[in-house]
Amino acid sequence: MPPDIDTLLSGNLLLSALRLPDQSLLKPHLELKDYRRGEALFEAGEDVSFISFPLGQCVAALVIGLKDGRAVETATVGHEGAIGGVVSQGSLPAFSRAVVQVPGRVLRIEAPVLQQIKQTSPGLRNLITRYSDCLLAQVLQSVACNASHTIEARCVRWLLSLQDRLDTNVLPITHEVLAELLGVQRSYLTRTLRTLQQQGLIQVRRGRIILVSRPAMEEAACECHGAVKRHFEAVLGAVYNANGTLVSLRATAASNNSMSQAI
């Protein structure tokens, strides 16, 4: 039995924030797709033909490949966002690779079709603009973070931000992969994770990391996690809550105003 489209839409915070008429405009064009860990949504240099909205637990990342073969993560996108031509509006070559970190499903739409619909829907335009701004904020903060913070703090930040996008405290990732994403040495990361475990923040298992104490993690993380989250709340908080449904992203405080003009 094919899943109900409305149920699917509700798996992504952006899509479910749209008013019903806007949702209706999109529905006929949305396509459901399953991704496995490691699969690429698009490659650097390719024209981006689809914009994808991760559903539920699915998490993808924007990754920059370097000459020496490393591939560093630059942004994480889960059910709070969208990936693929969000800023460029499709039709331009992708600068980064998009790869699935946590497998799952996405709803995707052809970029030109989305552009078309945006012409007629201010709500959709507004929503995507707001998300673009948050995506940029996330990346800006990471530039400063990578220039300034220790691997330990960055690692904790990363774990928190993955958990924000899941609803479990068991994070499915190996040291190897995490080290690659952070752009650091695997052996050193193992030692860092050991330290965190000794401090009682996490439990390390083969292929997964279990968060034990979220408050202690937030203490140990660099400020960057909180800074980005606050920006999301300021810019998209009220939007996410607009339809009074899902209040995810583990809202810490009341969502800021500064966006009374609504969507």
Partner DNA sequence: GCCCGTCTGTACACTAGTGCACAAATGCCC
Partner DNA sequence: GGGCATTTGTGCACTAGTGTACAGACGGGC
Report the candidate in 61, 60, 41, 43 with the shortest Cα–Cα distance to residue 51.
Answer: 41
Residue number with CB closer to a second copy (57 or 88) = 88
For a second copy, how many residues bind (rule: CB under 8 A)?
Answer: 44
- Which of these segments, 49-57, 88-96, 169-177, 198-206, binds a second copy (CB under 8 A)? 88-96
> Residue 191 interacts with DNA (CB under 7 A)?
yes
Residue 95's binding partner among DNA, a second copy, none (Cβ under 5 to 8 angstroms by kind) is: a second copy
CB atoms within 10 A of CB 66: 9
State the Cα angle at 113 between 40 and 232, rounded to 5°: 65
Distance CA 36, CA 181 (A): 17
Give min distance, CB of 99 to a second copy, in A. 14
Residue of 122, 205, 250, 256 interacting with DNA (CB under 7 A): 205
Give min distance, CB of 40 to a second copy, in A. 16
Report the candidate in 55, 22, 51, 30 with the shortest Cα–Cα distance to residue 125.
Answer: 22
Residue 88's binding partner among a second copy, DNA, none (Cβ under 5 to 8 angstroms by kind) is: a second copy
Residue of 169, 190, 213, 241 interacting with DNA (CB under 7 A): 190
Residue of 57, 146, 203, 248 interacting with a second copy (CB under 8 A): 146
> Residue 174 interacts with DNA (CB under 7 A)?
yes
Which DSSP string do the residues of 225-260 spell out, in sequence order?
A: HHHHHHHHHHHHHHHHHTTS----TT--SPPP-S-T
Distances (CA, A) of 225 to 35, 80, 168, 228: 27, 15, 18, 6
- Tell me the residue type at 50: F
Residue 36's binding partner among DNA, a second copy, none (Cβ under 5 to 8 angstroms by kind) is: none
> Residue 184 interacts with DNA (CB under 7 A)?
yes
Residue 240's contacts (CB-CB under 8 Å, 6 or more residues apart) are 13, 17, 80, 246, 247, 248, 249, 255
> Residue 89 interacts with a second copy (CB under 8 A)?
yes
> Residue 235 interacts with a second copy (CB under 8 A)?
yes
Q: How would you classify residue 46: left for phi > 0, otherwise alpha for psi between -120 and 50, otherwise beta?
A: beta
Report the candidate in 160, 137, 128 with the shortest Cα–Cα distance to residue 53.
Answer: 128
> Residue 137 interacts with a second copy (CB under 8 A)?
yes
Residues forming contacts to a second copy in the complex (CB under 8 A) are 47, 62, 64, 66-68, 70, 72, 74-75, 87-89, 91-93, 95-96, 129-130, 132-133, 135-137, 139-144, 146-148, 182-184, 223, 231, 234-235, 258-259, 261
Residues forming contacts to DNA in the complex (CB under 7 A) are 150-152, 174-176, 183-188, 190-191, 193-194, 204-208
